[in-house]
Structure 1
Amino acid sequence: MVRKALLKDVIDIYTLVNSYSKDGILLPRSLNSIYEHIRDFWVYEKDGRVVGCCALHIVWEDLAEIKSLAVDREQKGMGIGSALVNACIEEARSLGIKRVFVLTYATEFFEKFGFSIIDKSSLPHKVWGECINCVKFPSCDEVAMSLEVSVPYGSKV
């Protein structure tokens, strides 16, 4: 079941994300960062246990980033990541966000949702506020991808 994250999920999110950061696949997140951004997160709960997480971080009035997508390694290939990304896209759509981007190594996965590769330099400077603190900066090897999100019919955006 996909649902918005609760404070009780912080340790599970921290564990999932940081299990991939050790491999250089995801950037590490501190407990403090997860607490501060808990409203950005979605989790996938299975049998009472959080087995996946993903965040939709609003960057600007018409731009958001999908980040910290992590699925328990034993649960991979079961559609959990897809369900989480779909939840983020739907949330972006409901908020009237026009474009969602990711910085990723999993380009084929995100292409399935309609994301396409873009030049990182096309992202606004506001995005780089976080990147400047990254261990990979300025030699980031992640691929930037973007998705134009259609706004629901009848929305006033």
Structure 2
Amino acid sequence: MAIRKARIPDAKAIHKLLLTYAQQELMLSRSLPDIYEVIRSFYVYEVAGEILGAVSLQICWEDLAEVRSLAVAEGQMKKGIGRKLVQACLDEARELGLKKVFALTYQPLFFEKMGFHYIEKAELPQKIWSDCVKCPKFPDCDEIAMRIVL
């Protein structure tokens, strides 16, 4: 088992994993072309050639990035996969010199255990006007905004 940066051949497996949660309205859908475009921002958790988890670190501003598209395969929850994936993002954010990382989530307790704190969505103007306006739930978003200061 290993966490590693995603590669082009991983895109279809990442898409399939994310689609599972998007169909349940637990995360925004991402198209396969979108995943190919940002494949370098993804980490995957792989066991015996199978992708069991994925996450993306997207840089938003000079001091701000987002942990997004965090998904763990059904039946693989509560095994530390999500924690390891988010930690890989936080480690990279530190290496890049970023000061803050945020997430919009339906799983606030998970992020709280990782050191994130609740914030108002209004503190994330770049996010709201770039991705959120494309969401079918906008402006009535029910996700919880959380941030960690590195």
TM range (shorter): over 0.9
Residue 126 in structure 1 maps to residue 111 in structure 2: no
Distance 1:134 1:32 in 2: 18
Q: How many Å apart are 1:74 and its aligned residue?
A: 1.6
The DSSP-based 3-state class of the residue aligned with 1:50 is: strand
Q: What amino acid is aligned across from residue 68 of structure 2 in structure 1?
A: K
Map of 1:88-103 to 2, 5 A cutoff? 88-103=89-104
Q: What amino acid is aligned across from residue 148 of structure 1 in structure 2?
A: V
Distance 2:112 2:126 in 1: 25
Distance 1:87 1:6 in 2: 16
Distance 1:14 1:82 in 2: 20
Distance 2:88 2:62 in 1: 19
Q: What amino acid is aligned across from residue 142 of structure 2 in structure 1?
A: D
Consecutive aligned runs of 4 or more in structure 1 exceeding 6 Å deviation? none
Normalised by the size of structure 1, how large is the TM-score? 0.93
Map of 1:32-51 to 2, 5 A cutoff? 32-51=33-52
- Alignment identity in percent? 49
Distance 1:113 1:134 in 2: 26
Distance 1:77 1:113 in 2: 14
Partner residue in 2 for 1:111: 112
The DSSP-based 3-state class of the residue aligned with 2:55 is: strand
The DSSP-based 3-state class of the residue aligned with 2:27 is: coil
Deviations along 1:134-157, whole A, 9 cap, x unmatched? 1111110000000001xxxxxxxx
Gaps of 5+ in 1: 150-157
Distance 1:135 1:37 in 2: 22
Q: How many Å apart are 1:28 and its aligned residue?
A: 0.6
The DSSP-based 3-state class of the residue aligned with 1:16 is: helix
Normalised by the size of structure 2, how large is the TM-score? 0.97
Distance 2:127 2:52 in 1: 28
Partner residue in 2 for 1:22: 23
Q: How many Å apart are 1:126 and its aligned residue?
A: 1.9
Q: What amino acid is aligned across from residue 3 of structure 2 in structure 1?
A: V
Q: What amino acid is aligned across from residue 48 of structure 1 in structure 2?
A: G
Partner residue in 2 for 1:154: none
Q: How many Å apart are 1:77 and its aligned residue?
A: 1.2
Map of 1:70-85 to 2, 5 A cutoff? 70-85=71-86
Deviations along 1:66-112, whole A, 9 cap, x unmatched? 00000001211111101100000000010000000000010000001
Residue 140 in structure 1 maps to residue 141 in structure 2: yes
